[in-house]
Amino acid sequence: MASPKTALSRQDACELGAALFEGPRARPRSHYGTIDAADLTRRCARLVDAFLASLEGGPAAFVDYVRRITEERIAEGFYLPEIQQALSLLEARAWQIVVERSSVGALVGHLSAVTGTIGAAKDELAPLYLAHKQRAEADLARLQTSRLFAGTEGPWEIEPEPLPAGGR
């Protein structure tokens, strides 16, 4: 059987990168739309390179790469659906290429490699975001924000002085 990489080659990197570049930028209010085009192009190329390299050796290297960039994106304020979308775009375009180029006998194996690699990376996203959320909530609880306002009275809580009788 042919290797999964046979259906996807370095020549496909540009096509995969272009799909990654165009998809998120088209969505309104996406963090990807605020990134400099040259920087986004580099980011897309690195993701595609990591994906293509992992097709031969299994998903572990790609999962590690996605975990690392997810940490970076969380620090930049990206939301979980934005990162999921990038991986879904990569998977969808990779599937299209594999279907176009694979023989019938190799198709299932090639698609399985693409889905297995990207699926393993997607499986890491939610636990990573959840861990960050839990840390943020714990940090917030340690701040004890309710105590910031304890013992203070707002102007609406002060009783007005009574007016003198017969005067204003």
Closest C-alpha to 18, from 34, 33, 36, 40: 40
Say if residue 30's pLDDT is above 70: no
Burial class of residue 11 (count of CB atoms within 10 Å of its CB; 0-12, 13-18, 19+): exposed
Q: What is the pLDDT of residue 4?
A: 55
What six digits make up the tokens of 139? Answer: 């940090």
If one counts every other C-beta atom within 10 angstroms of the C-beta of residue 168, the result is 4
CA angle 124, 41, 126 (to 5 degrees): 15
The string of pLDDT tens digits covering residues 78-126 is 888 888 989 999 999 999 999 998 889 999 999 999 999 999 999 999 8
Q: Rounded to whole angstroms, how far apart are CA atoms 82 and 87? A: 9
Q: Is the pLDDT of residue 48 over 50?
A: yes
Q: Which of 23-32, 101-110, 132-141 has the lowest mean pLDDT?
A: 23-32
∠ CA 156-160-161, nearest 5°, is 160
For residue 48, report the phi and psi dihedrals to the nearest 5 degrees: -65, -45
Q: What is the pLDDT of residues 146-156, one digit of tens each?
A: 666 666 665 56
In the predicted structure, residue 28 carries a pLDDT above the cut 60 = no
Q: What is the mean pLDDT of the chain?
A: 83
